[in-house]
């Protein structure tokens, strides 16, 4: 697999990834030929969305339970 630092990867692919979006590891960048933190993999944004959805569902369930308790 080709190894690129974040700057070279973004330039090559016309993207704007940031450090928070990727996992980096020191390696030889094939773009600038310097030893730098290179992209190993991309972090999943879907995981964060699922956590938010789970929290929303838990809150909704709590509201439903509270309403049932108050109405009886």
Query: How does pLDDT run across 12-65, given as a tens digit for each residue?
Result: 999 999 999 999 999 999 999 999 999 999 988 655 555 666 666 667 666 767
Token couple for 67 = 């309403």
Q: Quote the pLDDT of residue 65.
A: 72
Query: What is the average pLDDT across 6-17?
Result: 95
Residue-level pLDDT at 49 = 55
Q: Is the separation of the CB atoms in 5 and 31 below 8 Å?
A: yes
E-strand ranges in the chain read 22-28, 35-42
DSSP state of 14: T
> What pLDDT was estimated at residue 45?
67
């Amino acid at each position: 697999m080709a190894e690129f630092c974040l700057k070279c990867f973004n330039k090559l692919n016309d993207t704007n990834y940031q450090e928070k979006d990727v996992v980096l590891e020191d390696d030889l960048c094939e773009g600038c030929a310097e030893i730098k933190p290179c992209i190993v993999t991309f972090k999943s944004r879907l995981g964060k969305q699922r956590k938010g959805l789970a929290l929303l569902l838990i809150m909704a369930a709590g509201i439903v339970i509270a309403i049932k308790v108050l109405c009886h």
